[in-house]
Structure 1
Amino acid sequence: MAALNYNHLRYFWAVAREGNLTRAAEKLLISQSALSIQIRKLEGQLGQDLFERSGRQLVLTEAGRIAFDHAESIFATGGDLLATLKQRSGGRRSILRVGALATLSRNFQIGFLRPLLGRRNVEVIVRSGTTAFLLQSLEAHRLDVALVNVAPARDAATPWVSHPIAEQPVSLIGTPKRIGKGGTLKKLLTGQPLVLPTMESSVRIGFDALVERMGWRVRVAAEIDDMAMLRLIAREDIGLAVVPPIVVKDELTSGLLVEVHQLPQLSETFFAVTMKRRFPNPLLRELISPHAALELAD
C-alpha cells in the first residue's frame, strides 16, 4: 500500500473541523475545487467515503469519524513533538464521547465511567440531552455511547443496540423525621405525600401498576423528571420519594435520608446504547462487558 499522504489528511481534517468546504478552502488559501480533489484522492486511497452531504453541511460518515479521530491524534502528536523540543509538557489522549439522558442519575453516570476517569491518557466528553438528541448524535457519529433508562424502540431499520448494564431496585426513601418508626408499606404509601418520577419514566409506570394491583390510593406531592431535582426535593422533606437508592447514595450514607422499603417487583434498568459500527471505540470494551455490568450492579 502506498504511504499515506499527510497533506491530503490535513486537508480532510480541516474540512471535518469546519463542516463546510468553502470555509475550509478559505482558511487553507486554496480553491474549493482543488480542496475537493484532495479529499477525493484521500477517499480513493482509503477506499471509504469520508463525508456525506446534509443540506449545505458536510457530515462525517462512520469511516470519516474514524479518520478524523486518527487525524486529531496524528496532528496532536506533531504538537507534542514541538512541545517536547521546546521543553513543554504534553501527551496523547484517547477520547470517549458519552451522551447521557439529561434526567439520568449523576451517581449512575459516574459509576459507569469510573474505570476511565482520572486516566492521564483518556479524555471523557459527556453531553446531556433527550433520548431523540442522543440517538441522532449516535447516528451522526458525534457520540460513541448513550446512557438511558429506557431501551429505544428498535426494528430492522434502526442501527443501534441497547446493552443492559445495570438493574437497580426502587425503594421508598425519606428523611428520618418523616419515616419515624417506619410502618407497613401500605401505611406509608397511603398515609404520606409522595414524590414520584413523571409519567414517562419506567419507574413511574411500574409504581402506578403496583398501587393499582394493591387497590391503594396515594397522594402525589410532586412529579419530577430530573433525578437531581428529585433528590433535592426528597432532602427538603416534601414527601417520601420513590427512587432507586443509587440516586441518593450520598444522602443514605450520611443518614440525611433513610431507605425504609424496597418496592416489590419494581426496578430501573440502565442501558448503554451504541451503533452497529465497523470501528467501535476500543474504550467501550472496558465499560460494556458482563464483568463491568456486574460490578456496576453490585
Structure 2
Amino acid sequence: MNYHHLRYFREVAVEGHLGRAAERLNVSQSALSIQIKQLEERMGHAFFDRVGRSLVLTEAGRIALDHAERIFGAGEELVATLAQRGAGIAPLRIGALSTLSRNFQLQFLRPLLTAGETRIVLKSGNTRTLLAELTELSLDVVLTTQVPQSDAPLPFAAQRIAEQPVRLHGKADLLAYDTLPDLLTQAPLILPTESVIRTGFDSLLARLGVTPNIVADVDDMAMVRLLAREGAGVAVAPTVVLADEVAGGLVATAPFDLDIMEPFFAVTLPRKFPHPGLAGLLDAQ
C-alpha cells in the first residue's frame, strides 16, 4: 500500500470534496482522483459515494479512514518520540523484581507521581525476564537488588539508588527476648527467599552458631509483610517493607542490629534515545 495514496485519501475524506482536498495538497483534481482510484483498486473497495457535489464515505471508506488515522497518529508519535518532545512521548516503562518491596517502588516513583507529567507502565517479574525485556527495549529501566552478571552479553549499567537495613519486625510479644540468639532460636521466623537478604542472614547464623526457628520461606515481600502484620511470625526484612506498620504501631522492630543491608539498583542500557523522564527520576533518588 502506498503511504501517499493513504494520505490523499485521508484529506479527501476529511474535506468531503475533491477540489478542496486538491487545493490543500497542492495537486490537481485529476491527479488526486487518480491516486484515490488506485488506492480503491488496491483495496478492492470503493471508499466514496458521490452525493451532489460532495463525497461521502462508504462503509469500507469509514473503516479505511479509521485505520488511516491510527497509521498517521503512530507516525506522528514516532517523530515526537525520537525528538523527545510533546504528548507523543511513550510512557516510562519500569520493570521491578517481583520480590521487591512495594513501599520502595512507591518511594522510587514518587517524583514522577508528584509531577504528574509522565505516564508510567509497571511490570514485575524475575531478573532474567526483566533484563531480557530491557535488552529488547521493551523496558526503560529495571529495579533490582543485584548487579547483573559481568559476563552478560550487553553492557548493563547498574546505578545504586538506595539501600535499606534489614531488621527483625513483628508483634511486640514475639520480640520479647533479651538476646538476638534467643530470638532467632525461639521466635517463629518469616524469611524471604530473595538471595541478598538470605545470604546475609545465613552468614549471621553461621557467626552466631545458632539454628533458627523458621516457619515460612516466602518469595514475595508483600506476603512477608502481611504475615508479620497477622502475627504469624517475625519477619526478616528491610525496614522500608514494614515502615507503615511500624509507624502505625501494628508491629515493632527488634533492637538488634543484624548488620545486613539490602541494596537497590536501577539497571539500564546505554541508548541513543533514552526516555526523557528517566534521567531526572534517577537523579532524584
Give the TM-score normalised by structure 1.
Answer: 0.66
Instruction: Give the residue type in structure 1 aligned to 2:92.
Output: L
User: How far apart are residue 70 of structure 1 and its match?
Assistant: 3.8
1:160 partnered with 2:156: yes
1:43-96 deviations in whole A, cap 9, x for unaligned? xxxxxxxxxxxxxxxxxxxxxxxx96545799x97xxxxxxxxxxxxx666621
Say which of 276, 282, 287 aligns to 2:276.
282
Q: Secondary structure at the match of 1:121?
A: coil
Matches within 5 A, 1:122-271: 122-155=118-151, 157-180=153-176, 182-198=177-193, 200-271=194-265
Correspondence for 1:105: 101
Regions of 4+ moved over 4 Å: 28-31, 71-74, 91-94
Q: Could you say what the CA RMSD is over the residues aligned between the two structures, in angstroms?
A: 3.2
Evaluate the alpha carbon distance shift between residue 283 and residue 213 of structure 1 in structure 2; reply closer, same or farther with a 3 A threshold. same
Distance 1:191 1:237 in 2: 15
Gap regions ≥5 residues in structure 1:
1-5, 11-27, 32-66, 78-90, 294-298
Kindly name which structure, 1 or 2, has the bigger radius of gyration based on alpha carbons: 2
Distance 1:171 1:223 in 2: 16
Instruction: Give the residue type in structure 2 aligned to 1:281.
Output: H
Q: Secondary structure at the match of 2:178?
A: coil
Q: Percent identity among equivalent residues?
A: 45
Give the TM-score normalised by structure 2.
Answer: 0.69
Distance 1:284 1:262 in 2: 38
CA contact (8 A) 1:235 1:257 kept: yes
Evaluate the alpha carbon distance shift between residue 262 and residue 68 of structure 1 in structure 2; reply closer, same or farther with a 3 A threshold. farther
1:243-291 deviations in whole A, cap 9, x for unaligned? 00100111011000101135332110001000111222221112223xx
Matches within 5 A, 1:11-30: none
Correspondence for 1:116: 112
Distance 2:252 2:122 in 1: 31
Evaluate the alpha carbon distance shift between residue 264 and residue 177 of structure 1 in structure 2; reply closer, same or farther with a 3 A threshold. closer
Correspondence for 1:3: none
- How many residue pairs end up in the alignment? 220
Distance 1:118 1:285 in 2: 16
Matches within 5 A, 1:51-62: none
Evaluate the alpha carbon distance shift between residue 140 and residue 169 of structure 1 in structure 2; reply closer, same or farther with a 3 A threshold. same
Q: Secondary structure at the match of 1:229?
A: helix
CA contact (8 A) 1:148 1:272 kept: yes
